[in-house]
A and B are shown apart, each in its own frame.
Chain A
Amino acid sequence: MAEKVLMKGNEAIGEAAIRAGCRYFFGYPITPQNDIPAYMSRELPKHDGVFLQAESEVAASNMVYGAAGSGARVLTSSSSPGISLKAEGLSYIAGAELPCVVVNIMRCGPGLGGIQPSQGDYFQATKGMAHGDFHLIVYAPSTVQELVDLTYKAFDTADKYRNPVMVLGDGMLGQMMEPVEFMEPLDPAELPKKEWATDGAKGREPNVINSLALAPEELEAMNKKLENKYKKVKANEVIHEEYRLEDAEIAVVAYGTSARISTKAIDMARERGIKVGLIRPITLYPFPEKEIAATCDQIKKYLTVEMSTGQMIEDVRLAVNGRRPVEFFGRLGVVFEAEEVLQRLIALGGDN
């Protein structure tokens, strides 16, 4: 067992990426994710890696596009407004089927918004990132240990599907310190060679990294191929966790920081005799649709808890498909407390 170290969420992401064999980071300063580029600028040179502060997030995401096409494990990170700018590059990366990892340490929007933690980018991360029919695979950690584990896993998943993977945290997770345990570092030289990468056409036909398909049939085929990939992702990559759900009649559905606060509220509600448990999606895309649907026979009411005005609730409602009521609690700008969630649970439980 490796020794546990006390580490800030953002820095733990950086360390996990390096241990996953990532040697390239391209980014642009924005709060509250600044510790990630700072960590990478300090640590990557020690591993013969490259840290580059780009002129913009648009440029950073296109540098990632180039580095990913060249066969490297590559990371970029940002916070909400910066992710909007990275969207262009991510659409091209998804279209050209390249692996990369992008971290969003969410702050509160829209527009310039503020730097308070938020979960307001759920729609952007899971559905509306940029133009065209594509998806990121989205991990939603709720502890610093999960930031580490899922960042590490993100690189493998990205390579497996040749698709961008997002680690979706928030300002709270990025800034908090917790004890974490790291995996053994991986040597990037030992990773399988990417035969499709542009590294000079020595003794082979040229490789072309591209998402352009002018002929209608070719264009359809490209999108069909992506569609089939997402079907595989949906079938194989869903991760969720359940807490005190065995005899529950009410289920809270929450991810990330909201799930942590909800867990405390569930314990408090249980002490008052309310039968409530938690369903925590760990992958937001693919969403644990079947897993939630499977609880509908037992669960009488669902409460979606988010640091937004209600985004994931749409996916919960699709999963529940009208069989049970799905209520919402959320605040944004301000991080809510367990007591506030408890009051909603008492109100819901009282109707039983």
Chain B
Amino acid sequence: MEKIASYPDSLTDKHFHYCPGCTHGTVHRLIAEIMDELDIREETIGVAPVGCSVLAYEYFDCDMHEASHGRAPAVATGIKRVHPDKVVFTYQGDGDLASIGTAEIVHAANRGENITTIFINNAIYGMTGGQMAPTTLEGQKTTTTPYGRNLKEAGNPIKMTEMLSVLDGPSYIARVSVHTPKHIRKAKKALKKAFQRQLEGRGFTLIEVLSTCPTNWGIKPKDALNWLEDYMMPVYPLGDLKDIEEVE
């Protein structure tokens, strides 16, 4: 008998605090599986953000550093400069990365910091109770856009990944989703490539993961998966946005 799947060594045995139907757990597992497969758990330092994944340090069984809101790329820069031979990743939500932390992510990417950023985009603030995120869709109702996001007043859904992909520093930037098994497999491939790029010392890598938030979207988990496909994917199309191997 061949064992084809097991609980990843790189996850602790603590129960996730995430809501039912939230895709954080899926993404955590993928990262842990990659850490196992690349045998880097003891070489990795993760940076947790402020947001729903603020407690990520409870779940990844590697050295972890809790950052202040939006500053994970700056904290990761400090870590990586001291330990250039270690693997350093940040795990950030859309409020963290695309709102309060725009300066830090842009400049870490532009410097080509040899780190990997996992960017969870669920189009809403989760931890604080469902406020508008910069990634919230047009017309989407949140606790701070009770009449739906009005683009004239609240601006447009921000496309961070597209913006970052025009910089010269990044080596690999992609947008993936985890709402179906097929997409999960593709997401893992992209995430693994990002970590491998870092191991090769090829510079900044970022994977945006379209994610669900049934609790704050106010819909059932199954409906949330459909909502992601029907409404988020047209605004945030999947695919590789920058891959210097392809460009060269």
Chain B residue with Cβ nearest A199? B83
Cα A52 to Cα B77 with chains together (Å):
10
Cα A54 to Cα B60 with chains together (Å):
29
Nearest CB in chain B: distance from A21 CB, A? 13
Q: Is B158 an interface residue (CB 8 A)?
A: no
Given contacts A63-B75, A200-B42, contact A24 B68 (CB under 8 A): no
Cα A54 to Cα B103 with chains together (Å):
10
Nearest CB in chain A: distance from B93 CB, A? 16
Nearest CB in chain A: distance from B55 CB, A? 8
Q: Is B82 an interface residue (CB 8 A)?
A: yes
Interface of B is mostly: helix
Nearest CB in chain A: distance from B9 CB, A? 12
Residues on A with C-beta less than 8 A from B65 are: 65-66, 69, 198, 208-210
Q: Is B22 an interface residue (CB 8 A)?
A: no
Residues on B with C-beta less than 8 A from A62 are: 67-68, 71, 74-75, 78, 104
Cα A68 to Cα B67 with chains together (Å):
13
Residues on B with C-beta less than 8 A from A70 are: 45, 78-79, 82-83
Residues on B with C-beta less than 8 A from A56 are: 103
Nearest CB in chain B: distance from A47 CB, A? 14
Q: A208 touches which one: B63, B68, B75 (CB < 8 A)?
A: B63
* A66 and B103 contacting across the interface, CB-CB below 8 Å: no
Given contacts A200-B63, A208-B65, contact A67 B78 (CB under 8 A): yes
* B78 and A63 contacting across the interface, CB-CB below 8 Å: yes
* A59 and B74 contacting across the interface, CB-CB below 8 Å: yes
How many interface residues does chain A have, given as a range?
Answer: 35 or more
- Contact residues of A between 24 and 43, Cβ < 8 Å to B: 24, 26
Nearest CB in chain B: distance from A72 CB, A? 5
Residues on A with C-beta less than 8 A from B76 are: 66
* A68 and B78 contacting across the interface, CB-CB below 8 Å: yes
Residues on A with C-beta less than 8 A from B149 are: none
B82-99: contact bitstring with A at CB < 8 Å (1 yes, 0 no)?
110010000000000000
* B residues contacting the other copy or chain, number (CB 8 A): 34
* B54 and A212 contacting across the interface, CB-CB below 8 Å: yes
* A206 and B104 contacting across the interface, CB-CB below 8 Å: no
* A55 and B104 contacting across the interface, CB-CB below 8 Å: yes
- Contact residues of A between 305 and 330, Cβ < 8 Å to B: none
Cα A70 to Cα B44 with chains together (Å):
12
The interface centre, meaning the residue of B41, B61, B79 with most chain A CB atoms within 10 A of its CB, is B79
* B66 and A210 contacting across the interface, CB-CB below 8 Å: yes
Known: A96-B66, A200-B86. 14 other contacts (CB 8 A): A24-B81, A58-B74, A62-B74, A63-B77, A63-B78, A65-B74, A66-B76, A66-B79, A66-B80, A68-B78, A199-B86, A200-B42, A201-B42, A206-B61
29 A-B pairs whose Cβ atoms sit less than 8 Å apart in the complex: A55-B107, A56-B103, A59-B74, A60-B74, A62-B68, A62-B104, A63-B77, A63-B78, A65-B65, A66-B47, A66-B65, A66-B75, A66-B76, A66-B79, A67-B82, A69-B78, A70-B79, A70-B82, A88-B71, A96-B66, A198-B64, A199-B82, A199-B86, A200-B44, A201-B62, A206-B63, A210-B64, A210-B65, A210-B66
